[in-house]
Every structure is written in structure tokens, then in C-alpha cells.
Structure 1
Amino acid sequence: MNTTTDLPEPRFATAAAPFLEDCAVVELRDYRLHAGQRETLVDLFEREFVETQEACGMRVMAQFRDLDDDDRFVWLRGFADMAARRCGLEAFYGGPVWQRHRDAANATMVDSSDVRLLRPARPAWAAVTPASPRRRTDDFDDIDEVAHAPAAMVVLATLLRPDSIDAAALRVVERELLPAWRDAGVPPCAVFVTENAVNDFPRLPVRTEAQALVWLTRVPQAGAWEQAAARLADNPAWVRRALPALQRGAGATLTLRRLVPTRRSLMR
């Protein structure tokens, strides 16, 4: 989030933050941090950057720790549309909260440019607002969150390929991928593809070198993922049909990451 240029105060009011179902544009933001700085950023983010971003018309959808990399922080931010994104980002990064805390936030980061601009692959595959509200900043006990990490986690799957995620690819998702993951006991809770609109807030760059298919899956227990992965490996719908069809073309890659929601993550 290295938006270090001084910006003018916003000169407009912004709309209310959208529900998850109404986030037609989503940023997937993956930060590489300095060693030992993740908890510093998580604490600062959850104290200062949640309600203040949502007051600018954006939805802070989820924040995660990477279980396999202590120096990674992943989060998702949603917008009603591209115009709302531009207005919300101008309001937040030009406002007093970011100006006051940006140096502390940026000091934790090695690289904040790994960002993909996404949209729900289909309206029915958008994220769903949970029934339970986000926890308040004062709704925490004294338990060390890291030492007592929750058993539940989220698997983030990112498939990158050079050509577009077209209607044929989405039929593969519908007919092969989603049933296979459901049969493995880990049904995806949201599916996104690259939003190819021009990034009209260039102070926050986004990656455009590949087309992305991204899905998130809640896993009730960390150990359950190993069992689910084994079931997927034995499922022809996944191994013989979905994967070959989706990974067509040179350079296609699939990455699976194990993430744990932070205490104030809306998606859990």
C-alpha cells in the first residue's frame, strides 16, 4: 500500500460499503512483509483500517495470515463497481487516517504490489455476507491469537493462464471443479476471475500479466484439508477433466495456499 504521495482531502461523499454479494469488483492483495512484522501490520490494520475504509464506500472482505509463510499477509477488498473503487480509494488514501498511519504500515512491507483485480465469475458465485457480524476491536480476550490460532482455515486457489477465463472454462468450473470439491467436503464459497477494466487508480498498481481464476474454500479444521486434498487427487473429475481443461496453454499454473482468518476478518 505504498501510496506515499501527499493527496488532497477528498471532496465528495461516498456510498455505503457494499454487502459481499454486491462486490462486483474485488482486489486480492498479497503483501510480502519484513521478517517479524506481520503481527504489527495485523494489529494496525484491524485497529485503524477496517471501519475507516468502509466509511469510504469499500468493503474489507477478509484478512488472512498465510499458514506456510510467516511473512505474508493476504486480504480482499470489495467495491460496488469500478467507479466506486476509484472514489473510495481517492477518499481513503487522500484522507487523514491513511496520512497518519501510512508510514507505520509501509514500514512493515517489502512489497505490496502483488494485487489482482477480480470480479465474481458468475453472480451466484459471489461471496456471501456471513450471518455473524465482524468482531469489534474491543471484543478480544487476552489469548495470544497466533499461539492459539483457530482450527478453521481458508484455502485460496489461484489458477493463472495466458488466455482468458472464457465461457468454456466456466462450464468446466460448474460441471467438474465445483462438484469435485463438494464431493471432497470442501465446497468453494466464492469464485472470481480477472476484471479486465483499466485500473483507473494507478497509484495502486495491479498485475495484468495473466488471467486468473480464483476460488476460496472454507475448511473446518486444518487436518481436514489433507483428507480433502487426498480425495481430490483420487477424483477423475478433478484430475483428468477439470485440471487439464483449465490449465491449457503454456505457462498455466495452479497455486493452493492455506490461510487463517484474522480475528476481525468478515469472511471466516
Structure 2
Amino acid sequence: MTENIWPIVELRQYTLHPGTRDVLIELFDRELVETQEAVGMRIVAQFRDESDPDRFVWMRAFPDFGTRGDALTAFYIDGEVWRTHAPAARATMVDTDNALLLQPASADSGFVVSGERPGHDATELPESRVLATIYHIDPPTAEFAEFFDSRVRPLFERTGAAPIGCYVTDPSPNTFTPLPVRAETVFVCFALFENAAQRRAHLDRLAADSTWTEQVLPELSKRLSAPTEQLLLAPTARSMLR
């Protein structure tokens, strides 16, 4: 199966109490995937952040903002599933407010996911890895997207990191205020690798590329309003994006 993921995407980074990430992942993958999808969302990915043992990163998608508000209300306010499992989930959590509300940077830059999600009994962890790069920018986002496509993307592709999705902040009002989203404007690029070694090789090749270090990176830095965030992500056993 090949699936175009819905255009409104939340990228959520949760800070957890030390030693509880696997507890949350087991609960999430068992109880909180299909049950969210049943009320109108699509769970795109669940990750361990390999640079922070106390961080869980995940993404979900919606077809439109009306559906987003209705689906989140149905799950978090009206639903029995969250009411039942919220105490156990919240016991692992320190902070859940690090969330970005995103839309594709262009008509063809959203995620396309192939394959079925592994079932509830899945335990084997994929060897694949994801690199998510979050650029903090000032509007207009279209100007940065053009710069990325013309100057940054070719170098990413040359060093083995062809983007699988590029997103920008969606400026629409948050349709479910109990869950806040970050207000800053960002451009987020996702790249998928067969394994961690390939991701490291890309980062090493990029750092050694003189065109990157002497030309593109200085231009890029002038366009940023805050330091770049880089997420080194490992899919969970049931992540669709893998």
C-alpha cells in the first residue's frame, strides 16, 4: 500500500521522566494508535530520539482543521480510551507542549508512506533511521522554501539524504486549545535512511563538503531566527514511517 498522508501534521516531542520512555511506547503502540485513528486522525510515526533517552517523538495527521478539532475532542474529551489510559501515560510525562502544527511546503512535499503498519504483536525494531531538521525562520515561508530547494536540497541529495517530506508552520488558529502548539515559524525537512550508519555518513559528508561549509551554510545562517534543531530518530516497532 502507498498512502499520501493528510496535509495537516503535528510533530510532537515529549520530555519524559528518566527510564519511562519504553513504558510509554509500549502503552502508545498497544492502546493509542488505532483508537486515535478511529475518530479521524492518522498516526504517521512514533520514534525514540537517539540523542535524548528521555524524549518520545511522534506525528499525526488530519485532512483539515475542522476534522482536527472534532477528532481531538472526540479522543481527549469525550473518549473512554484516553480517560482509561491517561493516568498511566501522564505518569511518564514531564512536558508535552513541544508541538509544531505543520503543512506541506509545496503541493508535492508531503509524506507518502508505503506498506502496512505492523500489528499489535510487532516487537522487531526497524534498522531504518530518520533525520528531522527544524529550521527556525521568519515569514514568508515560500521564500525560504525556494532557497531550500535551490541551495540546500541538492547538497542533501548529493550526500545521501534526499528529503521524503518538507513542511512549514501552518498559521491557522489552533482548533483544539487544550493542546498548545509552538508559535514560531519553522521549515522542517525529513530524510529517511536504511540504517544509522547511512545517516552518520550523510552528516559526515555534509560537514566535509566545502560548498556546504563555505557557501550554503553561511547563506542559510543569515536566514534563520534561532539555532537549527536536529532530531536523530529511530522508528518504534509499529511506526508507519520507517
TM-score by length of 1: 0.84
Alignment of 1:127-142 (within 5 A): 127-130=111-114, 132-140=115-123
Report what 1:29 is aligned to.
12
Distance of 2:164 and 2:214 partners within structure 1: 23
Question: Amino acid of the residue matched to residue 45 of structure 1?
Answer: F
Quote the residue 1:38 is aligned against: 21
Shift of the 92–216 alpha-carbon distance from structure 1 to 2, 3 Å rule, reads same
Contact 1:20–1:61 (CA under 8 A) maintained in structure 2: no
Percent identity for Structure 1 against Structure 2: 38
Partners of 1:184 and 1:104 lie apart in 2 by 42
Q: C-alpha deviations, 1:50-75, integer Å up to 9, x for none?
A: 00111111000000001121100000
Structure 1 position 231, deviation (Å): 1.7
Unaligned runs of 5+ in 2: none
Query: Retained in 1: the 8 A contact 2:5–2:44?
Result: no
Q: Residues of 2 paired with 1:30 and 1:20: CA distance?
A: 24
Report deviation, 1:259.
0.7
- Corresponding pairs, count: 240
Match of 2:142 in 1: 167
Kindly indicate whether residue 89 of structure 2 is the aligned counterpart of residue 73 of structure 1: no
Note closer, same or farther for the CA distance 1:264–1:250 as it changes in structure 2 (3 Å cut).
closer
Q: 1:240 to 1:193 in 2, by over 3 A?
A: farther
Q: Distance in 2 between matches of 1:242 and 1:84?
A: 40
- Specify whether residues 20 and 78 from structure 1 end up closer, same or farther in structure 2 by C-alpha distance, changes over 3 A only: farther
Could you say which residue in structure 1 is the equivalent of 2:105? 121
Q: CA separation in 2, counterparts of 1:228 and 1:34?
A: 32
Which protein is richer in strand relative to its size? 2
Query: Within 5 Å, which residues of 2 pair with 1:185-196?
Result: 185-196=160-171
1:150-175 CA-to-partner distances (Å, cap 9, x unmatched) read 432111111113x1153221111111
> 2:105·2:142 contact (CA, 8 Å) conserved in 1?
no
Task: Report the counterpart of residue 100 of structure 1 in structure 2.
Answer: 84
1:176-222 superposed Cα distances (whole Å, 9 cap, x missing partner): 221111110111110110011111211000110x2111111111121
SS of equivalent residue, structure 2 residue 4 = helix
Does 2:209 correspond to 1:235?
Answer: yes
| 1:254 aligned partner | 228
Q: Considering only aligned residues, what root-mean-square deviation do their CA atoms show, in Å?
A: 1.8
Decide whether aligned partners of structure 1 residues 97 and 27 sit closer, same or farther in structure 2, where only a CA change above 3 A counts.
same
In the TM superposition, residue 234 of structure 1 has moved relative to its aligned partner by 3.3
Distance 1:250 1:122 in 2: 20
The answer as to 2:240 corresponding to 1:266 is yes
Structure 1 residues not aligned, in runs of 5+: 1-18
SS in 2 for 1:265: coil
- Aligned pairs (5 A) from 1:81-100: 81-93=64-76, 94-100=78-84
Secondary structure of 1:73's aligned partner: strand
Residue 197 of structure 2, aligned match among 201, 223, 234: 223
Query: What TM-score does the superposition give when structure 2 sets the normalisation length?
Result: 0.93
